[in-house]
Amino acid sequence: MAGMLELVFSLSILMSMAFSSTAQSCKSYAFSSNKIFRACNDLPVLNSYLHWNYDSSSNKLQIAYRHAGITSSKWVAWAINPTSTSMAGSQALVAYQQSDGTMRAYTSPISSYQTSMQEGELSFDVSDLSATLANNELILFATLSLSNTSTTVNQVWQDGPLSGNAPQIHPTSGSNVQSMGTLNLLSGESSSTRGSAKTTKRNIHGVLNAVSWGILMPIGALIARYLKVFKSADPAWFYLHASCQSIAYIVGVAGWATGLKLGSESAGIQYDAHRTIGIFLFCLATLQVFALLLRPKVDHKYRFYWNIYHHVVGYSVIILSITNIFKGFDILNPDEKWKNAYIGVIVALALNAVWLEGYTWYVVVKRKSSEAAVKMPHVTNGSNGANGVGAPSCIFMEVRVRSDSFTGLS
């Protein structure tokens, strides 16, 4: 018992030391150049830290931006955006190690999301710009002469790959789209936009589409295909099917509209395949809804062709929906548990479909066999039943009836 208490106590000390080390990662840092900064901030993503000195009388800001976990194949940047907390409009300081081993640090005004990080003058003066790379940590130094009088600035920090000596576009998911926020230069208080309006919209877009197109639509199809086999479920199955698909369509349209809004607010960031499938999916689903207005009666000669159309379009919508949801997972890059949860739902629906397919075939064949036995006249030896003509006829009738039972979503 005493040994267990000692082990728990030792683990508690180690954990407290670890948490303390993490909490003081910027405050306890000592620069090799003996530079001293009065304030610092642990930035919430991308293993980044900002140290600074601010002179409010001259509006000069001296900064040291540290980015850990960096190799010579990546560039890093820290920026101030005078107008918003987004990337577009940022006044950036960029640094990376060139192929010859020397460091390059320069200024780059970011005018759009499709930037090539070209060198250019910023909206404020920058001096003492330099960078170092050691122990997989790049440090960028600079002195900024800020033009505005506000002590709160919008900051953006980033990293991305290099191709030779040319910076390439950074990843557009996960931490790389959450690395922005505000900073009060006097108090040191900062806020991150990890829960920003855009991130919230992206999450809402994903949830609405996963629930509507990816879950409700398949459930509605299962209801139509399998419940209609049971006579006691008629006409309840139709109203359940129509209600489920209508709700899925309405919620799906809301998710689709949210996606269009996100696209219009993210000029330069394009997910062509995801966007194209989404638009095509919406068009097919809308055609499916309006096709209900032209649905022929059950005994109409065109009902057979309408059923084929309804089946093909309906199953196409479901397949495209699931495909596009997984593309959305790749874009949003959420915790793995959310993707696994959706996979679990799809697998559960698929297993239910397999079981119901077999069971309903059994129900239909058994029912038709019973009905045929009642309706067919009793045969004796020497009749058609004795020479085997009747049995194939009965089997042919059963299979045809089973096929008719699943013709169309009435």
Per-residue tokens: 121: 């003058």
Count the residues in the chain.
410
Angle at 346 between CA 343 and CA 348, to 5 degrees: 105
What are the φ/ψ torsions at residue 281 (nearest 5 degrees)? -65, -45
Using CB atoms within 10 Å of the CB of residue 96, give its burial: 0 to 12 exposed, 13 to 18 middle, 19+ buried.
buried
Q: Tell whether residue 170 is among the known ligand binding residues.
A: no
Q: Give the separation between CA 217 and CA 225, rounded to whole angstroms.
A: 13
CA 265, distance to chain mean position in Å, is: 17
User: Which of 382, 264, 271 is closest to 328 using CA atoms?
Assistant: 271
Place of tokens 């130094």: 141
Please name the residues in contact with 346: beta carbons below 8 A apart, sequence gap of 6 or more. 214, 218, 322
Q: For residue 167, what are the β-bridge partners?
A: 162
Q: Tell whether residue 274 is among the known ligand binding residues.
A: yes
Per-residue tokens: 368: 């038709």
Per-residue tokens: 352: 């239910």
CA 192, distance to chain mean position in Å, is: 20
Contact present, 99 and 165 (Cβ < 8 Å): yes
Q: Give the separation between CA 29 and CA 160, rounded to whole angstroms.
A: 25
What type of residue is 385?
G
Task: Write out the binding residues for heme b.
Answer: 205, 241, 274, 310
Task: Write out the binding residues.
Answer: 205, 241, 274, 310
